[in-house]
Amino acid sequence: MMKANYGYADGSGQYYITLDTDKCDGCGDCVRACPASVLEIVPNEFDIIDGGDIMSVREEHRKKLKYSCAPCKPTTGGGEPPCVTACPHGAITHFLSSAKGQVM
């Protein structure tokens, strides 16, 4: 089992988008659901022999997730972000790990 964690922090706290690569089959539903085009489907470079394809956060978004994910982040009141609800396998989580003021 392999878990990828992409973090971002803004004024409200520290957030993570995580992917369980064992559950991800690279279907791309999350990619189509993301309004900011943050995600993509790429070959699983963590298992080069028989990894198949998996979801990944695009390189160009990795240092600006706090802006890219701001409209849907889990504390906006809109419930689970679209990337999470779109995944038919429950492979993605997107959560606030510590609110501002707690240890990051």
Q: Which stretch binds other proteins (CB under 8 A): 29-37, 45-53, 70-78, 79-87?
A: 45-53
Binding residue (CB under 8 A) for other proteins from 35, 52, 64, 88: 64
**Cβ contact 63:2 at 8 Å:** no
Site for other proteins in 14-43 (CB under 8 A): 14, 16
- Residue 98: name the closest of 16, 30, 20, 29 by CA: 16
How many Cα atoms within 13 Å fall on the side-chain side of residue 20?
11
Q: Which residue has the tokens 């990337």?
A: 83
User: Exactly one of 37, 46, 60, 90 binds other proteins (CB under 8 A); which one?
Assistant: 46
Residue 21 or 31 having the CB closest to other proteins: 21
